[in-house]
Structure 1
Amino acid sequence: MLAMLRQERRLSVLLTGNLLSQIGDGVHEFVFIITVLHVTQANVALSGAIYFFRFIPYLVLGPLGGTLSDRLSRRALMIGADLARMAITSAFCLLLSNGHIGVTALALIGMSMTAFRTLFQPAFQGAMPSLVRAEHLPIANGAAQMAAEMGGLIGPALGGTLLYAVTDVGYVLAIDAVTYLVSALCVWRTIPASDRSDAPEGTARCPLRSLYGEFAGNFKAVPGRRELSVSIGYSALCILFVGAALRVLIPTMLIGEGYADSVIGYAMSFIALGALSGALLCSSVSRDFSTPSLMTYWRCYGFMLALLPLCAVSAPATFAGCFLLGAIGAFVDVVLPTNIQHLSTDANVGKNFSLFSTLANTSEAMSGALAGALSAIAPVAVGISIIGVAVVSVGYIGTMRATRRHA
């Protein structure tokens, strides 16, 4: 991977900015969580309502982000999204410093950040194939996944450290605003202004109805491409199950086993460490990025998830199981975008990533209800194993569908 990054200088600069932005995201998420808990006085229903509003932009703007990425300059979209998030974060910082923050403001800030993230991500994924040679694309996706995992690992810890040092949560957000500016500068430096010279004329004047119609047309066309539809649809279904386990059931299981809250934090950190290791390993050893290969990794992930309750007998065993779960999950996270990129053209790669993002985020939002339903009918540990078996089953069916030949 290091050799590839030395050869692909433009990608290295872009990922440096993206890593800083991901760390800033981790700081932002840390500050947002503690602010929500403080403002709502730890009211679960009110906190849940704020997070629900954060999800809405995925449904409204998910299709729009992908279509714009395929029609407009990806460079302009990414820079605009970064600068907008810098402005929103700066406003959040000022509101916190002045003590003028409430439930409505938090909901609007959360929705705005999600909206511009929805516009940024398809453009980022769509720009990757143009920055590196074809043989380096899987390694590039692995490096991007490592940047995301490192941001999730370092950001909250950095936020906690800064909060301890300066004691004013508003000032902690200043680092987040700066990272978006650095990311925008890296995009400006690496992606040429003429990155979408092939875009259709008159795109800038294209009405919203036409943009959504274009996304809908692509959505209708995806089922006709069996491997692409399996990769997107079955992965989104797996995320429905996995989200329920990771966000709710695994922490609940550890609490039920008598572990301290710190052990839950360590377990999540070991998942992130496993994901870092898995991303590095996958980008080095994996050569098959086909849909059947993706479904195989989903089956392995489900198998490990089904066995995870057996690891809860001790803290070291739990950490080892979480590490392996994160490592296997990284193989999915690297193979999935590479697979979508290989099965897409430059004219629809953004729309395909937006379709996946919309379905995946919808599944993740619904995962809480699934976790609640499972916990009502079975012990938590059993529910995790049931989810693992469900993921294995989805992966198996997906493999069968992807490899089935036309009669």
Structure 2
Amino acid sequence: MFAMLRKERRFSVLLTGHLLSQVGDGVHEFVFIITVLHVTHANVAASGAVYFFRFIPYVLLGPLGGALSDRWPRRSLMIFADLARMTITLVLCGLLSTRSLGVGGLAVIGMAMTALRTVFQPAFQGAIPSLVRTEHLPAANGATQTVAELGGFLGPALGGTLLYAVTNPGYILVIDAATYLVSALCIRYAIGTPSRGGSDAPAPGAGSITLRALYRDFASNLKAALGRRDLFVSIGYSALCILFVGAALRVLIPTMLKAEGFVDSVIGYAMSLLALGAVAGALLCGNLSRDFSTASLMTYWRCYGFMLALLPLCAVSAVVTLAGCFLLGAIGAFVDVVLPTNIQRLSTQENVGKNFSLFSTLANTGEAMSGAFAGALSVVAPVSIGISVIGVIVVAVGYLGGARSAVRHG
């Protein structure tokens, strides 16, 4: 991976900006969470409403981001999204500093940041193949996943540390705003001004940008994806796995550790070990894996489900539990690296953004629904059993996806 970064200088610059942006995102998420708890006075219903509205843009605008990234220069879209997020972050900083922010304002800001993320992410993923050589694409995706995990790990820790030194959490967001500015400058440097016919040039017909045209593009691409077996399996079956896995990671595993009598610090360490395992797995996958086919992706999903099913057995001690979480995170990173590489290889420059947008829309919808699934499962089975059941389901989905991808038309 490091050899690839030395050779692919433009991608390295882009990734540096992305790393800073991800750390800033982690700081923003930390501040947002404690602000929601403060403004709602830790009311579960009100907090849930804020996060519900924050999710809405994924459903309404998720299809548009990919269509835009395939019609407009991705460089321009990413710079616009970063500068817009910088502006919104500074507004939030000002509102927090004057203590004039309510539940409604939090929901609007959360929705705006999510909407801009639906624009940035497909453009970013779609730009990677144009910045690196084909043989370096898996390592580039591994590096991107490593950066995402590092940002999620370092950002909240930095935010928590700074909160001790700063009385108002709004001031901490200045760091987040600065990271968006640096990211925009890195994008401007890494991706040259698009030329006609270049890899970042608008697709034919890009001049007619309307909501109807963008949704029509998304629908047309969805129909085409349904007709391509490997692409459908990669996107659809992975989104289905995320529906179940999200429930385990966000709700059931912390609940199980609490029920087993572990102190809150162990739960925090377990979440950190999941992230560290993901970093290690992303580094290994980018360097070791050679097969990025749909069948290989489904194999990794089966391995992930198997490890998840065994995780309750690790709860015999804190050390074994943390080791199990580290291993689970490492296996999950193989999925996270193989999946985007597979989508990129099954896509063209004309539809790579729409394919990532399709996956993002389905995956985020599944993750949002996972909380309800976890609640329903906890009614009929103990939490530890529920985690094992989810693991078995993921193994079954991976097996069915692998079997379907192996079928060839005669």
TM-score bin (small chain): over 0.9
AA at the equivalent of 2:123: A
1:262 aligns with 2:265: yes
Instruction: Confirm or deny: 8 A CA contact 1:72 1:196 kept in the other structure.
Output: no
* Alignment match, 2:64: 64
1:95 aligns with 2:95: yes
* Alignment match, 2:51: 51
Instruction: Confirm or deny: 8 A CA contact 1:282 1:334 kept in the other structure.
Output: yes
Equivalent residue of 2:192, what SS? Answer: coil
AA at the equivalent of 1:220: K
1:211 aligns with 2:176: no
Instruction: Confirm or deny: 8 A CA contact 1:244 1:368 kept in the other structure.
Output: yes
* Alignment match, 2:181: 181
Instruction: Confirm or deny: 8 A CA contact 1:74 1:196 kept in the other structure.
Output: no
For 1:319 and 1:69, how far apart are their aligned partners in 2?
40
AA at the equivalent of 1:405: R
**Structure 1 residues 195, 134: closer, same or farther in 2, change over 3 A?**
farther
Instruction: Confirm or deny: 8 A CA contact 2:65 2:122 kept in the other structure.
Output: yes
The offset of 1:244, in angstroms, is: 0.3
Instruction: Confirm or deny: 8 A CA contact 1:78 1:187 kept in the other structure.
Output: yes
Q: 1:111-155: per-residue Cα shift (whole Å, max 9, x none)?
A: 000000110000000000000000000000000000000000000
The offset of 1:200, in angstroms, is: 3.6
For 1:124 and 1:403, how far apart are their aligned partners in 2?
30
For 1:47 and 1:196, how far apart are their aligned partners in 2?
48
* Alignment match, 1:235: 238
1:124 aligns with 2:127: no
The offset of 1:99, in angstroms, is: 0.4
For 2:400 and 2:273, how far apart are their aligned partners in 1?
30
- Aligned residue runs from structure 1 range 176-325, under 5 A: 176-194=176-194, 197=197, 198-325=201-328
What percentage of residue pairs aligned between the two structures are identical?
74
For 1:364 and 1:259, how far apart are their aligned partners in 2?
26
Q: 1:160-187: per-residue Cα shift (whole Å, max 9, x none)?
A: 0011111210101110000000000000
* Alignment match, 1:104: 104
AA at the equivalent of 2:241: C
**Structure 1 residues 202, 295: closer, same or farther in 2, change over 3 A?**
closer
* Alignment match, 2:385: 382
* Count of residue pairs brought into register by the alignment: 407
Instruction: Confirm or deny: 8 A CA contact 2:203 2:350 kept in the other structure.
Output: no
AA at the equivalent of 1:320: A
Instruction: Confirm or deny: 8 A CA contact 2:71 2:205 kept in the other structure.
Output: no
For 1:200 and 1:258, how far apart are their aligned partners in 2?
57
Instruction: Confirm or deny: 8 A CA contact 1:73 1:195 kept in the other structure.
Output: no
For 2:2 and 2:383, how far apart are their aligned partners in 1?
42
The offset of 1:206, in angstroms, is: 2.2
AA at the equivalent of 2:370: S
AA at the equivalent of 1:165: A
Among candidates 349, 358, 363, match of residue 366 of structure 2:
363
The offset of 1:204, in angstroms, is: 3.5
Q: Which moved more, 1:10-19 or 1:204-213?
A: 204-213
For 1:10 and 1:195, how far apart are their aligned partners in 2?
17
The offset of 1:196, in angstroms, is: 6.7
For 1:168 and 1:270, how far apart are their aligned partners in 2?
30
Q: 1:311-337: per-residue Cα shift (whole Å, max 9, x none)?
A: 111110110000000000000000000
For 2:404 and 2:383, how far apart are their aligned partners in 1?
31
Moved over 2 A (4+): 195-202
The offset of 1:205, in angstroms, is: 3.4
Unaligned runs of 5+ in 1: none
The alignment's TM-score, normalised by the length of structure 2, stands at 0.98
* Alignment match, 2:398: 395
Q: Which moved more, 1:254-263 or 1:146-155?
A: 254-263
Unaligned runs of 5+ in 2: none
AA at the equivalent of 1:105: G
Equivalent residue of 1:205, what SS? Answer: coil
Q: 1:45-97: per-residue Cα shift (whole Å, max 9, x none)?
A: 11001000011001111110000000100000000000000000000000000
The alignment's TM-score, normalised by the length of structure 1, stands at 0.99
For 2:155 and 2:134, how far apart are their aligned partners in 1?
32
